[in-house]
Every structure is written in C-alpha cells, then in structure tokens.
Amino acid sequence: MNAYALLGIKLIGVSFGSMAVGLLFMGLGRKVTARIQRRMGPPFYQSFIDVIKCFTKTSITHNFVMDLGIIMALGGLIATAFFIPFANFSILGSSSVVIVLYLMSIGYLGMAMGVSASGNPNATIGISRALALMMGYEIPFVMVIMAMLITYNSSDLLTYAVAQSNGIGSWHIWKYPLGFIAVEIAFQAMVGEAPYDHMIAPAEIASGPMVELSGKYLGIGFLLHAVQLYVETGLIVNLFLGGASSWYVMLVKMFAVYFTTLSINAVMARYRIEQGIRHLWIWAGSFGLLQLIYTRIWG
Amino acid sequence: MYLPDGYTTLDKISENDDYAVYDLFFGPNHPGMHGNFGYVLDMVGTEILRVRPNAGQLHRGFEKAMENKLWAQNLSLIPRVCVPDPDPNEVAYCQAVEAILGVEIPRRARYIRSIVLEMSRLGSFLMGMGGVGGALGHYSTMYLMMIDRDLILDLFEALTGGRVYHIYNIPGGVRRDIPDGWTDKLLELCDRLESKLPEWDRLLYENPVVQDRLGGLGYISAEEAMSSGITGPSLRACGVKADVRIDTPYAAYDEIEINSKLSEGGDALARAVQVRLDFEEAVNIIRRLVKQLPDGDYKLDLGNISKLRVPKGDAYSKVEASKGEFGYYVVSDGGLKPYRVSVRGPSMPAGMYLCHKHLRGMKIDDVAVWMASFAICPPDIDR
Amino acid sequence: MSDNILARAGKMHGDKIECREKYKAQLEIKTHRDYVLNLLTWLKSERYVHLSFMSCIDWIEENEFELVWHVFSYESKNHILVKTRLNREKPWMHTAINIWPHVQPYEQEIHEMFGVYFPGNPDLSGLFLHNWLDLPPLRKDFIAKDYSLALYTTDALGLTPPFDDIDIVEITAEESRDGE
C-alpha cells in the first residue's frame, strides 16, 4: 500500500482511538467517583451515550469565530495525540516532549477564542482563570522535563520510555522522586480536578467556558476533555511509569494515573485562583527546582 | 440602595476606562445560587464593584393569599415559605393563633412539636453543610449528607405522610399521634448521625483547603451583627449567646436542658463550625425529648377546625429555625380568615443589606460561599 | 417585664405614648408618627438593639395604615411592638435607617406593597414586582381575583368562542431552523 495511505489510516485510527480511550476513562471515572461517594453511578459507557446525544441536538452558534475556535481546539489536541508514544509505538517517528507541550496549549487557546466570541462574561472569566492556572502548572512541569533533558540529552519521549524498560526497578519514578511529586501536583491542575478545577467551577462561574456550548459544540467540548485525558495520562506514563510494551498494559497504567487523580478530587475542595497558582509555584515548583538542581549537580 | 461612602481603586479604574466595568448576572439560573434569586454584579476583572439584589423571582404572593383562606387552610401555604426547614413556620403560625385564642396546648403536643422541630433542624443543617461543600467544589460532602437527610425524610413520611412539606401542626396541637415503634427508629437514626460526625469532621472541617477558603470570609463583629438583624447560628458564631429556645422558650423547651456552645470568630469558618456544634446538640436534645415524652392528648378540641373563629387581636410569635429567627405577626379582626399575616424571614438582613457591605471588593469565587455561610435562602426573602 | 421598661417609658415620654402588656414578654407601645423616631432611638439606647422587622397593616374601614416596628432586647428578653397610624390618603413616614440601617429593604417592600412613602430612604424602587402598573397589591381594595380575570382570561383579551379570529400560524421544521 502507498506509504501515505497507511499513514493516513494510522492518523485517523489514533484520532478516533484517543477519543474512544478518553471517553471510556471518563465513564469509568464517573463510576469510581460515585462509589467513593456511596452511590451507584452511571454505567461505564455513559460518556459515549452523552456525546452521541449531544451531536443530535440543535446547536446555537454566535458567529464564525466561535466555530473556528472550537474546531481549532479539538484539532490542536488531536495533533498532540499523534506525538504521544502508545505502547512504545510512535506514529510520526518523532515524539518530542517539547512539541507536545507546545501543541497542548493550542487546545486552551482555541477554546479561549471560541467562547470569548460568544460574549458571555462567565465564559470569559472561566477561560481567563484556566489560562492563568496554565501559567501555574507549566512551570513545575517544565523544570522536571529539563531535568530529564539534562540526563538523556534528548527530548524524545520514546527514548525516555525505552530507557525504563528493564523491569519495575528502572522506572523514573524511583530515579526522579521529587520530580514525580512535582508533576503529580501539577497534574491535578492539568486535568482540571480539585483542588484546581477552576476552569469548570459550576458554583462560581456557571461552568465557565461550557456555559455557551450547546448541541455539537458541547459534544466537541466533551471530546476535548477526553483527548486531553488520553494525552496527559499518556505523557505521565511515558515519563515516569516506564511506557508499556503492549496496549492493555498501557491502558491499565493510564487508568491508574487517572484513578489517583479522581481519588484526590473526591476529598478536596477548590482553591481560590490566586491561592491555587501560589500553591502550585511554591510546592510543585520547589520540588521541581530541587529535582533540577539535584540532577544538574549529581546527575 | 444604601451604600457606605468609600472610594477604592476599583472606582478609579471604572471611571477612567469606559470598557472596564461589565455586568455579571449571578442570577436566578446559576448552579451556585440557592434558589431563584439573583445578584446583578458590576465587576472589574474578577472583583465586584457594586451589587444590586434582583429579588422577586420567587414571589408567590403568600401574604395576600393568606388573607383569602380560612385559618386552617393557610397551613398548606405556610410550609412553602421556607423550603429546607418548613416546620418552624407551621409552629410559629400555630403559636400566634393560639396566643390570640388564649389557649394552652396539651403537654404531649408540645413535646411532639419540639421533636419535629429538632428533626427538621437536623435536615436543614445537613443541607446547609452540604451547600457549603457544594459551593466550594467539595461534592463528596454534599452527596454523603444528602443520604442522611433522606433517612430523616423517611421518618417524616412515616409520621406525617409528607417528606418535605409536612402540614402536621394545627392550631391546638398536632394532627395525629406518633405511631408505634417510631421513637425507636428515631433513636437509631440519632445514633447513626452521631457516628457520622467524626467522618464529616475529617472530610470537611479539618480539610486544609476548606479552612483556607473559609477563614476570614465575611467577617462581622458581635455588635454589628446584633444591630443588623442577624440571628441564629450566624449570631452565635460571633460569640453572642442568643437562642430563641432559651431566651423566650416555646413548645417544650422550658422543660429541656439545652447546652448551646459558641464558636468565636465571626467569619465563615466560625459559622460553619457553629452549625456543626448545633447539630451535635440537636441530636442530644432529641434524645432528651424522647426520654421525657409524656402521655396524654395530642391536640386540643377546638371544634371543627375549618370553622375556627379567632377573636380580635394580634400576636407575634417566633421560633428558632436552623437559619435564624422565624417570626409570624398575625392580626385577626374576629373572622374566619386572617386579616394580615406578616412573615419575618431570617435571610433578609444578610441577603438584602449585608451584601452591599461584604460583597464589595470580594472576588467572584467567594460569592456562592458567602451566601452559603450566612444560610441565605431566597424563599423567605420573596415569600 | 423584668426591666420595667413600660414604667420607665411612661416616666420618660409621659403622655406621648400609650403602653400595654399583651402577653408574657410581649409589649405594645402606640404613639404618634412624629414621635416614633424619638421612641425608637430611646429604645435602642435602652439595649433594645435588635430590630426584627417592620410590618404594615391596612385598616381600610378606619381609613388608616398602621406601621409596626418589632424590637427585642437580648438582656431583658422582651419583645416590643411600636405602632403608629398613618392617614390612608397620603401615607408617609420618616425613615429609620439612621437608627438601624438594615431597615432599608423592609421600607422598600412596604412602599411597593402598600404605597407608603419614606423620604430619606435612598432606594424605593420596586423590589419584587415586575412591570407593575396597578394598585399596590397588599392594600385591601386590590382584589387579586379581579386582577387575574382582567388580565389573563380570553374575555379580557376580547376573544369569544369559537376563536375564529385568532391566526394560528404553523411553522415548518425547516423554517424554524432558518435562523441558524
């Protein structure tokens, strides 16, 4: 078969596969949260039903900029998904972590453009808080990445994953413990769960950016969250938990990361935005900085 | 509206930049609002400049409607004045009517009224604490407390037939007697609720994020609270020993020992802790009431209650609800229907007057939490 | 009546007020409109710091409005109703916000529901009612049933059965989506 056709099939497969994996995680996550809160919870395939239902409803759009923004957000996140190695299998040949961090912000920026065009102040406040929080979690994250860059002299995620494939003892979680703590704290903010769930915050800003989305836009909003889950848990697994050699081990590890996030979410309230950013810089940032200094000096 | 004088940097920004100030409807249709009530907020960035209460979405015209119905028919309207805590309304109205009639209800009826009031207080506290948790994003607390509130509502259904609105008190006593075995189930429920308290402490009150959020929010001093009309747990959290059950005892409270503990502080954290202390005490009060429950009649025979004629006069009676002091001022001109029923709701001073002083300069993050901490519940503002 | 407030009131204000004890720990003081604020200020200085609320009653037969202030003392646990009567034709009353600032929403509500004017109150705009063009509704000469029939029935709109003069327009599904 033509190489380009094969590539096309792989890309389409990853696009829909990342959405499916993300929706499955969301559904299982709702079940997990419900059991923590002593109730039954919806079935595990609930998120698929939600997305299909959203696409069958009528949508309201305000102008062309809103359409463009939402599509740009989804496109940016799916593009990021192409660069995450899945079970030591990288589609486009390179999987630089720098590209991943760069493309992930397109998701937020596209969402910002789309919902600001709707003119609802709730949406604007929500997205401005989310962007401010991004400033908070990017810094500790980048410090830990720099520590790994120093060690491996390469920014390729596949290199990191392969370097950890000598059994459990060689995982980065033991080699960079402070970095792992920093990334765990920052990860709560990346995924948007308590104590840093400022983007959605229903009781304060009426669900932030989601307040103006209806019909297919709301469906795309769900898919954005799903792909974001896939990308970010995949990132953590490749960085710290040793990648994986088969797809089911990879899925199990990704869900384990998400499970930890949900458990912390169930018992924590939400910080104020300035408290949140300050805590991220002070706690996650100091651990990341210590890790960076340690790696630079003692290698 | 009555605004204190002051000139802040927010005013300077809004005067120099035409586009800086925008309107945000923290409005009737909002997940963080407890009911159909709204604040129209003038904001700069995420800080609030000015507040305009937008009341009236829940105005059902109760005070006018009550003038067109018989004395006993009004009891179907009265619980709806306060949604989470409907029994204090019924008791206050019945007590006002009994004061004008000049009758004393039997002792067993007073005890049953007190038990029902305390159970309603527990249910409302659970919803209130869950409301604080929900406003903070701590949904586990909300769900766990709703489970326990459901059990209280089950007991109410066994006693009165209704889960949320009971229509159980009538002028002269209560409508029917306690069924067999109900008090045993009530004591079991008290044990269960008391065993849950350590878990809620660890989850909500000792949570460092919750303490960070609630500390220092909406501070009010004792003198200012007393002269602003704040009553109930919010006043006790400022250190003032004020409880209608002790000050002007009604129902069976003059025969029961009530140890009210105060939490000092005056801010939202002290109010939340005060709710928890009151909760513990209410469970103990129920146990004492059940132990001392006397035998006897459960209502006075006032004849056909639909043809009740109340002599000319007026009376004001108040009860201690979970949100504060609920009062009913009833005026009668000697007929089959009330001449005027005027309701004193506990949320009006905080919701309509204190909002101008406290919300000014606050960030949008804290509006829902502030409302939940003062137990502002719109149905008794609008009636 | 543990603090003998009525005796002290009688000594202080003499014949300007009329006192009565209604029930246990519930007292009533009646006075003239222009003396109310003096009385309320004196009561506040006598540790009656808690103003519960303010009511208004429409005595249409006597052609008068009656305003009632409910004050309470945390020390002596007495509840006092301060009452005054206003002329029903042009009802007005001095505002009490300089004594208790939180009485402003209560006065706003009484203005909306009864039509009593409070000069000095900074905001007497409508609180609960929306686009209200009729009488103040809690007055006794406002009959709620007639208002309802006048505004919300087909007779009022001038329509009689079999309603042939109403144009019922059917919008197809495509037309309703045209706006998107």
Cα B68 from Cα B79, distance rounded (Å): 17
Does a structural domain hold residue B226?
yes
Cα B203 from Cα B194, distance rounded (Å): 15
Does a structural domain hold residue B376?
no
Specify the length of chain B in residues.
Answer: 383
Cα A284 from Cα A188, distance rounded (Å): 11
Contact at CB, B339 and C102, closer than 8 angstroms: no
Question: Are B44 and B177 part of one and the same domain?
Answer: no
**B303 Rama class: left (phi>0) / alpha (psi -120 to 50) / beta:** left
Measured between beta carbons, the chain C residues lying within 8 angstroms of B227 are 44, 49-51, 100, 102
Candidates A275, A270, A236, A288; CA nearest to A132 is A275
Question: Are B18 and B97 part of one and the same domain?
Answer: no
Residue B118 pLDDT > 70, yes or no? yes
Contact at CB, C104 and B1, closer than 8 angstroms: yes
- Would you state the pLDDT for residue B4? 45
Cα A147 from Cα A149, distance rounded (Å): 5
DSSP string, B98-167: HHHHT----HHHHHHHHHHHHHHHHHHHHHHHHHHHHHHT-HHHHHHHHHHHHHHHHHHHHHHS-SS---
Contact at CB, B140 and A266, closer than 8 angstroms: yes
User: Out of B65, B228, B316, whose CB is closest to C81?
Assistant: B316
| B3 at interface of C, judged by CB pairs closer than 8 A | yes
Instruction: Please report which confidence band the pLDDT of residue A141 belongs to, taking 50, 70 and 90 as the band edges.
Output: confident
pLDDT digit string (tens) for B148-179? 999 999 999 999 888 999 889 888 888 888 88
pLDDT digit string (tens) for B231-263? 888 889 888 888 888 888 888 888 888 888 888
Measured between beta carbons, the chain C residues lying within 8 angstroms of A59 are 180
CA distances from A176 to A255, C19, C81 (A): 21, 82, 73
Question: Are B43 and B71 part of one and the same domain?
Answer: no
Kindly state the helix (H) or strand (E) to which residue B262 belongs, with its residue range.
none
Contact at CB, C74 and B342, closer than 8 angstroms: no
> Which residue range is the domain that position A126 belongs to?
3-298
Question: Are B255 and B131 part of one and the same domain?
Answer: yes
Q: How many C-beta atoms lie closer than 10 Å to residue A175's C-beta?
A: 17
| B35 at interface of A, judged by CB pairs closer than 8 A | no
Residue B14 pLDDT > 70, yes or no? no
The residue of chain B nearest to residue A38, with distances taken between CA atoms, is B144
Q: Which residues contact B310 (CB under 8 A, 6 or more apart)?
A: B71, B97, B100, B101, B332, B334, B335, B338
Q: Which residues contact B263 (CB under 8 A, 6 or more apart)?
A: B236, B237, B270, B273, B274, B277
Rounded (10°) angle between helices A97-116 and A121-152? 180
Are B346 and B22 a contacting pair, CB within 8 Å? no
- Would you state the pLDDT for residue B1? 37
Question: Are B319 and B281 part of one and the same domain?
Answer: yes
- Would you state the pLDDT for residue A61? 81
Cα A242 from Cα A244, distance rounded (Å): 6
Mean pLDDT of A15-22: 90
- Would you state the pLDDT for residue A299? 65
Any idea of the CA torsion for A138, A143, A146, A152, to the nearest 10 degrees?
Answer: -110
Residue B191 pLDDT > 90, yes or no? yes
A53-67, A190-204, B53-67, B79-93, range with the lowest pLDDT: A190-204
- Would you state the pLDDT for residue C166? 61
pLDDT digit string (tens) for B319-332? 999 988 899 999 99
| C97 at interface of B, judged by CB pairs closer than 8 A | yes
Q: Which residues contact A20 (CB under 8 A, 6 or more apart)?
A: none
Cα C160 from Cα A80, distance rounded (Å): 67
pLDDT digit string (tens) for A228-264? 889 889 888 888 887 777 888 888 989 999 999 999 8
The residue of chain A nearest to residue B29, with distances taken between CA atoms, is A206
Contact at CB, C138 and B63, closer than 8 angstroms: yes
Question: Are B197 and B114 part of one and the same domain?
Answer: yes
The residue of chain C nearest to residue A64, with distances taken between CA atoms, is C180
Measured between beta carbons, the chain C residues lying within 8 angstroms of A61 are 180
Measured between beta carbons, the chain B residues lying within 8 angstroms of A269 are 133, 136-138, 207, 209-210, 213
Residue B24 pLDDT > 70, yes or no? yes
Measured between beta carbons, the chain A residues lying within 8 angstroms of B32 are 202-204, 206
Cα B374 from Cα B372, distance rounded (Å): 6
Average pLDDT, chain C: 81
Cα B314 from Cα B29, distance rounded (Å): 39
| B349 at interface of C, judged by CB pairs closer than 8 A | yes
Residue A53 pLDDT > 90, yes or no? yes
CA distances from A258 to A233, A261, A271, B362, C158 (A): 7, 5, 21, 34, 65
A-B C-beta contacts closer than 8 Å? 81
Cα B16 from Cα B35, distance rounded (Å): 36
Residue A245 phi, psi (nearest 5): -100, -15
Question: Are B127 and B169 part of one and the same domain?
Answer: yes
Question: Are B186 and B45 part of one and the same domain?
Answer: no
Contact at CB, A201 and B144, closer than 8 angstroms: no
| Chain B closest-CA separation from residue C2 CA (Å) | 13
Residue A207 pLDDT > 80, yes or no? no
| B59 at interface of C, judged by CB pairs closer than 8 A | yes
> Which residue range is the domain that position B31 belongs to?
9-54
Cα A115 from Cα C132, distance rounded (Å): 37
pLDDT digit string (tens) for B260-310? 888 888 888 999 899 999 999 999 999 999 998 888 888 888 888 888 888
Question: Are B35 and B180 part of one and the same domain?
Answer: no
User: Out of B248, B331, B349, whose CB is closest to C77?
Assistant: B248
Mean pLDDT of B40-59: 86
Contact at CB, B227 and C79, closer than 8 angstroms: no
pTM, 2 dp: 0.87
- Would you state the pLDDT for residue B92? 92
The residue of chain B nearest to residue C101, with distances taken between CA atoms, is B228
| C53 at interface of B, judged by CB pairs closer than 8 A | yes
Measured between beta carbons, the chain C residues lying within 8 angstroms of B2 are 97, 101, 104, 122-123
Give A32: exposed, middle or buried? Use CB within 10 Å, 0-12, 13-18, 19+.
Answer: buried
Contact at CB, B46 and A272, closer than 8 angstroms: no
Q: What percent of chain A is predicted at pLDDT more than 90? A: 10
Cα B255 from Cα C59, distance rounded (Å): 40
Does a structural domain hold residue B172?
yes
Q: What letter would DSSP give residue B34?
A: S
Helix ranges (DSSP H) in B201-267: 208-214, 222-227, 233-236, 244-247
CATH code for position B145: 1.10.645.10
Q: Which amino acid would we find at residue A283?
A: W
CA distances from B261 to B198, B231, B279 (A): 18, 15, 11
Measured between beta carbons, the chain C residues lying within 8 angstroms of B344 are 52-53, 70
Residue A185 pLDDT > 90, yes or no? no
| Chain B closest-CA separation from residue C23 CA (Å) | 8
Give the bridge partners for C83, in sequence order: C30, C68
Measured between beta carbons, the chain A residues lying within 8 angstroms of B135 are 203-204
Instruction: Spell out which chain C residues touch chain A, with contact meaning CB-CB distance below 8 angstroms.
Output: 177, 180
pLDDT digit string (tens) for A101-140? 888 888 888 888 888 888 788 888 888 888 888 888 888 8
- Would you state the pLDDT for residue B301? 84
Contact at CB, B138 and A275, closer than 8 angstroms: no
Q: What letter would DSSP give residue A283?
A: I
Cα C110 from Cα A245, distance rounded (Å): 76
Average pLDDT, chain B: 86
Are A211 and A133 a contacting pair, CB within 8 Å? no
The residue of chain C nearest to residue B228, with distances taken between CA atoms, is C102
Q: Which amino acid would we find at residue C54?
A: M
Residue B12 pLDDT > 60, yes or no? no
- Would you state the pLDDT for residue C167? 63
Mean pLDDT of B53-61: 86
Residue B140 phi, psi (nearest 5): -60, -40
| B147 at interface of A, judged by CB pairs closer than 8 A | yes
Kindly state the helix (H) or strand (E) to which residue C86 belongs, with its residue range.
strand C79-87
Measured between beta carbons, the chain B residues lying within 8 angstroms of C51 are 227, 229
| A214 at interface of C, judged by CB pairs closer than 8 A | no
Contact at CB, B364 and A269, closer than 8 angstroms: no
- Would you state the pLDDT for residue B328? 92
Contact at CB, C101 and B240, closer than 8 angstroms: no
Measured between beta carbons, the chain B residues lying within 8 angstroms of C77 are 247-248
- Contacting subunits of A (3+ beta carbon pairs below 8 A): B, C
Question: Are B45 and B98 part of one and the same domain?
Answer: no
Would you say domain C5-127 falls under CATH 1.10.3430.10? no
Domain regions of chain C by residue span: 5-127
- Would you state the pLDDT for residue A172? 81
Cα B186 from Cα B114, distance rounded (Å): 14
Cα A250 from Cα A234, distance rounded (Å): 8
- Would you state the pLDDT for residue C158? 67
Question: Are B80 and B169 part of one and the same domain?
Answer: yes
What is the tally of structural domains in chain A? 1
Rounded to whole angstroms, the maximal C-alpha distance in chain C is: 83
Peptide bond into A195 cis (omega under 30): yes
What is the tally of structural domains in chain B? 2
| Chain C closest-CA separation from residue B316 CA (Å) | 8
Cα A197 from Cα B137, distance rounded (Å): 8
